[in-house]
Structure 1
Amino acid sequence: MSLSSRRNALPIAYAAILSAVFLVAGCASGPTVAPPSFATSDAAALERTYRLGTGDKIKITVFGEDNISGNYEVNALGNVSVPLIGEIPAKGMAIASFRETLVRRLSDGFLKNPRVTIEILNYRSIYVHGEVKNGGEFPYRTGLKLRDAIAMAGGYTYRANEAYVVIVREGQGEGQVPVGSAATVLPGDNIRVPERFF
C-alpha cells in the first residue's frame, strides 16, 4: 500500500474504532428495555397488584365502629396509625394483605369478627423530569397514560428524545418504555425523558 493510501485509510480506521467504542459504551450502560409489565396495565390490574406506599390516602371502614372508620394516610415511615391498635405497617403491602393484617390486629383483644373494607382515595404522586418544559411532581389518576403524563409536564423540549422514556418503578427497577406504546403510568412512577443525541 502506498503512503498516500495509508494516510487516507487512517481517518476511516479511527472513525470505525470510535463508533465501536460508543456502541459498546451504549450497550454497557443505561437502562434496559422494560419488561411487558411496565408497558401494560389497567385499572383492574392496578387494584390486584398495587402496593401501598408513603403518601397514599386510604379509607378504612370497620362496620359498627365509627371511632375507627375514617380516612388515613400512609406516613413517612410507611405505616398507618389506627385508633386502638396504633401503627400498622403498610408500605409495600397489597390492599388485601393490609386488610388481613388490620383484621388480625383488631381481632386480638379489641373486636370480635370485625368486618373491614379498604378503599384507596388518592394514590401517591408521579414525577416527570428530564427533557420536558415543566418537570415536577404531579397527582396520579387511574388510567393515566404515558403521553398524558408528559403533557402534564408541559410537553417535550426541543432536545427531547420522543421515542422512549426511562421509568423507575418501585419493586421493578428501571426500564425503557416506548412512548408510542399503550403504557399506563402507575402511582409513584419516576419518569425521565432523555435527551436525543442528534
Structure 2
Amino acid sequence: MSRRLVSLALAVAMTAGACAPRVGPSDYALAQPSGPYRLATGDRLRIIVFGQDNLSNIYAVDGSGRIAMPLIDAVEAQGRTTRELERAIEAKLRAGYLREPKVSVEVDTYRPFFVLGEVTNSGQFPYVPGMTVQTAVAIAGGFTLRECARRAGVSPAAPAHHFGNLAGLLTAVATLGFDGLSDAMEAAAARASATGGCRLAAICRAYLETALARPGRFRVVFGRRELDKEDPEMQRAGARAFGILVAETRAHRAGLAAPPPGPLPSETAKAPDFAEILLAWSVTHGFTTLLIDGQFDFLVGEDGGEDLLALFSQRLMRLLGAALAPDAALANRGHDG
C-alpha cells in the first residue's frame, strides 16, 4: 500500500474516534473527557432524599437550568455536577426543613446531543457517559468518504477509486490495526524473554497499550462496523494476532520459555484448551475496552487511569497467570493443543 493510501486508510480511523494524537499509557487522561459531566437543560435526574419518600422522585432540568422540588422550590442545576447538586439540595433542606439531610443524585436520562456536517448520519443522538468528540462522530456513523479524503489530502474520488466503498476503507484500517497489534505483542514477548519476564503478561500489556495509543483504530478492528470479512489480507492479519495469543497461552500453560517454532496455531474452537485461551483474551480485551470507554471512572475517578494500568500489569496479570498456571502434563503436547 502506498504512503498516500496508508494516509487515506488511517484518516478513516476518525470514523471510530482516532483523530486524537497518539498517546501512551502515561498520557491516558489526555484521551478522556476533560471533566465530569455537567448538568443542563434536558437532563432528567433521579433524586433520593433518604428517609423522605415525598421528596424522592425524577426531576427534569427545565429551560432555565433549574429543578423544582417540594419545600425548597427551584434549585440551580445548570453547569453543576451531580455531586455539587447533592450538596446544594442538602444545604437548602438544612435551612429550616431537615436537620441532617442525605441526598443522592444520579442522571436518569441524559440530554441529547447533535452532530452535523460531513458525517454519515447527522442529527440528534442520546448522550452516553464518557462521551468525547471522537465517540460522538463515531455514533453518527463516522465521517463521510469525502471528509476522509479531505483529511488525507487526496481528491474526493480517491477513497472510492482505491477501496471501492467505506467497507473497503475500514477493512484496510482493520488490517493495519491487526498487524500493529501483532507487532507490539511480538516485540513485548521478545523483551520479556530477554529480561526473564512472563511472556503472556507481556503480550497482554502490549495489547492494552496498543489500544490506548490508537483507540480509534482499535474500535475499527473490534467494533461493529461493516468490514469485508472475506478480505484475504485482513483474514491473514487477524489470524496472526489471535495465533500469537493462542501460542503464548499454550506455552505459558506448558511451562515453556517460548512457543515452539513453526506456524501459528489455527482452528482452536474445538481444542481442549479453548476455555483457557478465551479466558486470557476475555480478561485482556474486556479490561481494555472498559478502560478506553471510561467505564471504570465511577470507581477510580477520571484521573485513575494510571492506577488501573498498574493494577492490570501487577495484580490482575498475577491472577490470570495463576488461573493459567503451568501444567507439566502439557509440556509434551503438540503446538495445536
The answer as to 2:129 corresponding to 1:138 is no
Q: Counterpart in 1 of 2:141?
A: 154
CA deviation profile, 1:145-193 (whole Å, cap 9, x unmatched): 65553343233323214759xxxxxxxxxxxxx99489979xxxxxxxx
Identify unmatched segments of 5+ residues in structure 2.
1-19, 22-26, 153-213, 219-291, 295-337
Judged with a 3 Å threshold, the aligned counterparts in structure 2 of structure 1 residues 144 and 101 are, in CA distance, closer, same or farther, namely: closer
The answer as to 2:46 corresponding to 1:68 is no
Supply the distance in 1 between the matched residues of 2:38 and 2:129 (Cα, whole angstroms): 14
Supply the distance in 2 between the matched residues of 1:55 and 1:146 (Cα, whole angstroms): 20
Letter in 1 for 2:114: Y
CA deviation profile, 1:54-85 (whole Å, cap 9, x unmatched): 11111111111111101111111000111111
Q: Counterpart in 1 of 2:32?
A: 41
CA deviation profile, 1:109-153 (whole Å, cap 9, x unmatched): 111211111112222222211101320110012245655533432
Q: Residue 129 of structure 1 is aligned with which of 85, 108, 116?
A: 116
1:150 partner SS: helix
Structure 1 residue 95 displacement after superposition? 1.9
CA deviation profile, 1:86-106 (whole Å, cap 9, x unmatched): 110110112222111101111
Q: Counterpart in 2 of 1:106?
A: 93
Q: With structure 1 as the length reference, what TM-score do the two structures score?
A: 0.56
How many residues are treated as equivalent by the alignment? 135
The answer as to 2:37 corresponding to 1:50 is yes
Deviating beyond 6 angstroms after TM superposition, the runs of 4 or more aligned structure 1 residues are 181-185
Supply the distance in 1 between the matched residues of 2:89 and 2:67 (Cα, whole angstroms): 10
| Conserved? CA contact 1:145–1:184, under 8 Å | no
Q: Counterpart in 1 of 2:222?
A: none
Identify unmatched segments of 5+ residues in structure 1.
1-32, 165-177, 186-198
Q: Counterpart in 2 of 1:81?
A: 68
| Conserved? CA contact 2:32–2:132, under 8 Å | no
Letter in 1 for 2:48: T
Letter in 1 for 2:97: F
Supply the distance in 2 between the matched residues of 1:184 and 1:64 (Cα, whole angstroms): 35
The answer as to 2:109 corresponding to 1:118 is no
Counterparts of residues 144-183 of structure 1 (less than 5 Å): 144=131, 148-161=135-148, 163=151, 180=216
Structure 1 residue 50 displacement after superposition? 2.2
Q: Counterpart in 1 of 2:200?
A: none
| Conserved? CA contact 1:40–1:184, under 8 Å | no
| Conserved? CA contact 1:72–1:80, under 8 Å | yes
Judged with a 3 Å threshold, the aligned counterparts in structure 2 of structure 1 residues 158 and 91 are, in CA distance, closer, same or farther, namely: same
Report the structure, 1 or 2, having the larger helix content.
Answer: 2
Structure 1 residue 107 displacement after superposition? 1.1
2:141 partner SS: coil
| Conserved? CA contact 2:42–2:62, under 8 Å | yes
Judged with a 3 Å threshold, the aligned counterparts in structure 2 of structure 1 residues 184 and 58 are, in CA distance, closer, same or farther, namely: same
Relative contact order, CA 8 A, sep 6+: which one is greater? 1
| Conserved? CA contact 1:135–1:153, under 8 Å | yes
Supply the distance in 2 between the matched residues of 1:37 and 1:75 (Cα, whole angstroms): 35
Superposed CA RMSD: 3.5
Letter in 2 for 1:81: A
Judged with a 3 Å threshold, the aligned counterparts in structure 2 of structure 1 residues 158 and 125 are, in CA distance, closer, same or farther, namely: same
Report the structure, 1 or 2, having the larger strand content.
Answer: 1
